[in-house]
């Protein structure tokens, strides 16, 4: 919907969090009649202009059908709010407003995990090639606060989640799709809806860059055109310590700071993309070599008491924790795990744990039954159950062998006892630091 079409519509802003303060400011700045705006939320609404209507508490969705447009935060699911299903044709999001009103070249990036790494490195590479570029995350700062619609960027790189793709209709320049495995199943009401949301990134793109494994697994060659694939034996790959294109060496992997195979695959996605932008690889090779990755993604943090502590707090699926175990291999002695009921299956993770040298597992509620059941045949593991990060870290200090690794890579979100992964990480760091400074 164009900005000019908003002015005389009856608009509901649904759920008044950080993003929707941004939406209200955007509407008012673009001459929407304030008397046509209503804020709906199940909780008390504070700090809004007096002339803006609001409805909250129990019946806030009772008359939802009376609005022409429903601006919904991407983080809230219609499947968990059944009253919205009859009016889903009226629902739009900030990302849709961004797409409808920004006319220049957009590069979308999505994956079940590691999309932040791909999109961040891609942004840095394009920027260092001298292009005028803007980067939009799928978290932290709302997209309508990030983009100046009057600005002509060469490219906008946008990390996009399945939440945002669910209602998105678009036609963009390049779409990048990497991994697809079970994630956010509660939000999407099942894996099929999740996959369908993710695959919307490929609709109406000029170019689709897809991981070869995902391409084959979901038979995407027959559904979409203008496909460029990468990874394992395809156009862009790595072999014998070199990145390759059509089996021809491009440059060596030996100087890469972004270690481990799944990150080499991330770089292949970036190489495939910049090739389409006619960026000379030699002009950005140093950028790729020196990129160290993002926080909370297999990040080496400390060596305390001859124990190496790694932060992989953002790994909240079994598949991403498997990658961490494969990467650090036989060096892991202690791992911290959670389980949240998102329909995950931990049997494959259990196989990797059983093949590893992991001897100690900290289980936080309510993970005890679910994960321990998958590992029930392993008699060599020392389990420790707790809801207290301090006690977990004490256990790690006492039981992890010297010169081995203690890994925070929880295989599931920890919302049952933590606000977010950052809180989980902050407690991990705080208690390790405190205990390391305590005299024996």
Residue 129 pLDDT greater than 90, yes or no = yes
Please check the confidence at residue 166 and state whether its pLDDT lies above 60.
Answer: yes
Quick one: pLDDT at residue 58?
Answer: 78
Statement: 99-290 belongs to CATH 3.90.1150.10: no
Say yes or no: domain 299-436 is CATH 3.90.190.20: yes
pLDDT of residue 368: 64
Q: What is the pLDDT of residue 247?
A: 87
Question: What average pLDDT does the segment 368-381 reach?
Answer: 73
Q: How many CB atoms lie within 10 A of CB 329?
A: 12
- pLDDT at position 428 is 85
In this prediction, residue 179 carries a pLDDT of 86
Report pLDDT for 97: 92
What CA–CA distance (Å, rounded) separates 419 from 409? 16
For the cut 90, the answer to whether the pLDDT of residue 79 exceeds it is no
Higher pLDDT, 47 or 158: 158
pLDDT over 50 at 420, yes or no: no
> Is a pLDDT exceeding 50 seen at residue 342?
yes
Q: Could you state, in order of their start, the residue ranges of all structural domains in the chain? A: 3-92, 99-290, 299-436
Q: Which class does domain 3-92 fall in?
A: alpha beta
The residue to which tokens 């933590």 are assigned: 418
Q: 0.85 exceeded by the pTM?
A: no
pLDDT band at 418 (very low <50, low <70, confident <90, very high): very low
Q: DSSP for 41-54, please give it.
A: ESS---S--TTSEE
Q: Which pLDDT value is given to residue 341?
A: 61
Q: How far is CA 219 from the centre of its chain?
A: 24
Residues 6+ apart with CB under 8 A from 113: 179, 181, 183, 315, 317, 319, 320, 323
Question: Which is more confidently placed, 296 or 408?
Answer: 408
The answer, yes or no, to whether residue 326 has pLDDT greater than 80, is yes
- pLDDT value at residue 426: 81
Whether residue 440 is predicted with pLDDT greater than 70 in this model: the reply is no
pLDDT of residue 295 exceeding 70, the answer is no
pLDDT digits (tens, 9 = 90+) for 297-322: 777 777 878 999 998 887 878 888 88
Which pLDDT band, with edges at 50, 70 and 90, does 145 fall under?
confident
Asked whether this chain's domains 99-290 and 299-436 adopt the same fold, the reply is: no
Can you give the pLDDT at residue 422?
63
**Distance between CA atoms of 27 and 42, rounded to whole angstroms?**
22
* Size (the chain), residues: 440
What pLDDT, in 10s, does the model give residues 221-246? Answer: 888 888 998 877 678 988 888 999 98
For the beta carbon of residue 310, count every other beta carbon within 10 angstroms.
Answer: 21
- pLDDT for 413 beyond 90: no
- What whole-number distance in Å separates Cα of residue 98 and Cα of residue 370? 41
pLDDT for res 416:
43
Q: For the residues 408-419, what does the mean pLDDT come to?
A: 65
Q: What is the pLDDT of residue 334?
A: 96
* Residue 1 · residue 69 · CB < 8 Å: yes
pLDDT value at residue 340? 66
Please report the pLDDT score of residue 395 as a whole number.
96
Three-state DSSP class for residue 209: strand
**What's the whole-number average pLDDT of the chain?**
86
**Is the sign of the CA dihedral 279, 127, 287, 312 positive or negative?**
negative
Least-confidence region, from 161-170, 264-273, 333-342: 333-342
The residues with which 311 forms a beta bridge, in sequence order, are: 299, 408
Average pLDDT over residues 425-440: 77
- Model confidence at 12, pLDDT cuts 50, 70, 90, reads very high
Percent of the chain residues past pLDDT 70, beyond the cut: 91
Confidence of residue 429 (pLDDT cuts 50, 70, 90): confident
Is pLDDT above 60 for 378? yes
Specify whether the CB–CB gap between 350 and 373 falls below 8 A: no
Pair of tokens at residue 30:
């673009």
Alpha-carbon gap, residue 312 to 117, rounded angstroms: 13
pLDDT, mean of residues 369-386 = 78
Mean predicted confidence (pLDDT) in 331-343: 81
């Amino acid at each position: 919907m164009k900005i000019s079409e908003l002015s005389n519509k009856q608009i509901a802003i649904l759920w008044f969090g950080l993003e929707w303060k941004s939406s209200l400011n955007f509407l008012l700045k673009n001459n929407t009649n304030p008397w046509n705006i209503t804020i709906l939320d199940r909780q008390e609404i504070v700090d809004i202009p007096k002339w803006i209507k609001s409805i909250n508490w129990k019946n806030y969705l009772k008359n939802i059908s009376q609005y022409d447009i429903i601006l919904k935060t991407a983080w809230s699911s219609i499947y968990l709010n059944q009253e919205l299903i009859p009016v889903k044709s009226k629902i739009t999001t900030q990302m849709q407003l961004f797409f409808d009103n920004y006319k220049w070249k957009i590069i979308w990036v999505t994956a079940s995990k590691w999309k932040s790494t791909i999109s961040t490195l891609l942004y840095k590479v394009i920027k260092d090639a001298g292009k005028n570029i803007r980067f939009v995350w799928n978290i932290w700062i709302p997209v309508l606060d990030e983009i100046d619609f009057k600005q002509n960027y060469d490219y906008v790189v946008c990390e996009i989640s399945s939440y945002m793709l669910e209602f998105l209709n678009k036609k963009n320049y390049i779409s990048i799709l990497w991994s697809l495995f079970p994630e956010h199943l509660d939000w999407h009401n099942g894996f099929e809806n999740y996959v369908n949301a993710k695959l919307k990134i490929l609709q109406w793109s000029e170019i689709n860059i897809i991981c070869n494994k995902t391409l084959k697994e979901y038979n995407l060659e027959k559904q979409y055109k203008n496909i460029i694939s990468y990874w394992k034996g395809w156009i862009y790959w790595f072999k014998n310590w070199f990145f390759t294109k059509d089996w021809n060496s491009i440059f060596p992997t030996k100087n890469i700071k972004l270690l481990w195979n799944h990150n080499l695959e991330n770089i292949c996605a970036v190489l495939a993309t910049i090739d389409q932008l006619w960026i000379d690889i030699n002009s950005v090779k140093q950028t790729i070599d020196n990129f160290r990755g993002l926080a909370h993604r297999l990040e080496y943090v400390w060596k305390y008491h001859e124990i190496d502590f790694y932060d992989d707090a953002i790994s909240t699926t079994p598949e991403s924790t498997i990658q961490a175990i494969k990467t650090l291999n036989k060096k892991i002695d202690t791992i911290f795990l959670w389980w949240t009921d998102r329909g995950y299956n931990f049997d494959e993770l259990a196989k990797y744990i059983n093949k590893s040298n992991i001897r100690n597992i900290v289980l936080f509620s309510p993970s005890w039954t679910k994960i321990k059941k998958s590992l029930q045949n392993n008699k060599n593991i020392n389990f420790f159950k707790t809801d207290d990060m301090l006690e977990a870290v004490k256990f790690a200090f006492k039981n992890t062998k010297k010169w081995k690794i203690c890994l925070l890579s929880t295989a599931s979100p920890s919302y049952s006892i933590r606000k977010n992964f950052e809180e989980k990480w902050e407690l991990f760091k705080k208690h390790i630091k405190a205990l390391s400074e305590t005299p024996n």
